[in-house]
Amino acid sequence: MNMYSESDKIVPLTQMQSGQSGVVAGIAGGFGAARRLENMGIRPGKKITKVSGMFLRGPVTVQVGHTQASIGFGMASKIMVEPRK
């Protein structure tokens, strides 16, 4: 069950378009996933931009602050984002 399904404004990072920005609303994963993402600067409340993503479940490149990082599709799908217009 997805704990974010009550709001259609919050989507997984993988569903955002390349170049689209938003604010991290939460991490839909366990302690290990949350800790690993936090070590990369990805935590609730931070602005995140999807720089690029590969077609069909490839890695996703994101920018948080002045840092860019590539993360796997599975990990990216756990990052719940409130997209900005």
Cα separation of 67 and 3, whole Å? 29
Q: Which CATH number characterizes residue 35's domain? A: 2.30.30.90
The answer as to whether 61 is a domain residue is yes
CA distances from 67 to 2, 6, 40 (A): 29, 31, 9
- Residue 52's domain comprises 11-83
pLDDT tens readout for residues 6-57: 445 999 999 999 999 999 999 998 999 999 999 999 999 999 999 998 877 8
Q: How far apart are CA 57 and CA 19, in angstroms?
A: 18
Residue 62 placed within a domain: yes
Torsional sign, CA 40, 10, 18, 21: negative
pLDDT single digits (tens) 48-74 = 999 998 877 889 999 999 999 999 999
